[in-house]
Each structure stands twice: as structure tokens, then as C-alpha cells.
Amino acid sequence: MNKILTIFALIGLVAFQACEGPEGPMGPQGEQGVQGAPGTPGVNIVGTTYEVDLDFTEEGQYSGLFEFPEALIESDAVLIYRLSAVDNGRDVWRLLPQTYFFSEGVLMYNFDYTIEDFSIFLDGAIDPTILPAQWTTDQIFRVIVLPSDFPEGRIDYSNYEAVTAMLGIEESDFQKLQANN
């Protein structure tokens, strides 16, 4: 009985696998999309970019608050990168949040944002007053606003170069912002 069921199952698999009908008619032509920039093939999305230089101080509560020059759309996303090093003359950018471990505790560079502003702050279980100046002064951050129509797909957002390349961002595109506090 078991052999008969196996034979019927194999015949059924072969029969259904061979079923293929004629291709259906062509669908209607879709609407024409918005014309991209001349000479730019592929995706043409403009991301808004900012650069901030921040000193984390006790007076500033180890944070900085910045206003977006233009309010975001609710569905926009924000990525913030910290200049963590310079390697052979090349900037090394790391996506926030970033966590560093010290014998005295944990330091985290973190951020939050609304459609009107964003803040970058020190977080973690470490007393920020004991941190050397290299961790608190002249900290440079780059902010990239991903438009709500950014294409879905596989991109490593922690890879600064991949994100800026996908959005066509150049060094000259970053607007300098000043803290509000």
C-alpha cells in the first residue's frame, strides 16, 4: 500500500510540475515617473545632510540640541555618524549609537530626533566628568536624513560610504549647524 501511494505521489509531482499555460496578455502602460537629473542613471533621491561640531560639557548636560532648517516628513529617517578616527588621511565614520567600554564604566554616543530637531548626547554608566577631552571636545557628527521615498533594499546603513554613494552625497553637501543650547 505504501509503495502505491509513493508512486501516485511521484506521478502527481511530475504532472503538476509540467503544467504551464500560455503567457497572459501584456498589461497597460504605467504612468511616467518624475524625470531624474540629467546624466544620472538609476535611483535619484536627494538626502538632506548636516554636519555639527559638538563639545560635550557639564553646562550643556553632555548633549547638543539642533533644529532642522526644514521640518522633516513624519516617515523620514535620520542616521547620525561620528568621526571616530582618521586613517591614512581618510575619515572613519561610525553609525550611532556607539558604545565604548572603559574600566570605569560604559560610554555611549546616542541621539534622538523629532521632525523638527535632533539631539546628540552622551549616555551610559560612566561619569562623563572623568572622560579625557578626546571623547568630549571637538566631536564631529554627520547627519543624513533618509527621505521617506528612499528605496527599500539591502544597504548596510552602518557603512557611511555606501549610504552617501546611494544618495549621491558629496562632501560639499553637508550644511553646518549650530547647537541651540
The answer to whether residue 57 is domain-embedded is yes
User: Where in the sequence is the domain holding 76, given as residue range(s)?
Assistant: 50-177
Whether the full predicted model's pTM is greater than 0.85, yes or no, is no
User: pLDDT at position 44, please?
Assistant: 45
Residue 15 falls inside a structural domain: no
Whether 65 is covered by a domain: the verdict is yes
Convert 21-68 into a string of H (helix), E (strand) and C (coil).
CCCCCCCCCCCCCCCCCCCCCCCCCCCEEEEEEECCCCCCCCEEEEEC
**Average pLDDT for 125-145:** 95
The per-residue pLDDT for range 55-70, each reduced to its tens digit, is 999 999 999 999 999 8
pLDDT at 114 > cutoff 50:
yes
- The per-residue pLDDT for range 12-67, each reduced to its tens digit, is 655 556 556 677 777 777 776 555 444 444 444 456 899 999 999 999 999 999 99
Assigned domain for 5 exists: no
Assess if residue 150 is contained within a domain.
yes
For all residues of the chain together, what is the average pLDDT?
83
Structural domain contains residue 38? no
Residue 60 forms part of a structural domain: yes
Coil, strand, or helix at residue 154?
Answer: coil
* Residue 133, pLDDT score: 94
DSSP string for residues in 94-145: EESSEEEEETTEEEEEEEEE-SSEEEEEEESSS-GGGS-GGGTSSEEEEEEE
- Give me the number of domains the chain comprises: 1
Strands 105-113 and 117-123: antiparallel
Q: Which pLDDT does position 166 carry in this prediction? A: 79
Tell whether 9 is covered by a domain: no
140 class by beta-carbon count within 10 Å (0-12 exposed, 13-18 middle, 19+ buried): middle
> Which residue type, as a one-letter code, is found at position 62?
Y
Q: What is the pLDDT of residues 76-93, one digit of tens each?
A: 899 999 999 999 999 999
pLDDT at 39: 46
pLDDT higher than 80, residue 104 = yes
pLDDT of residue 35: 54
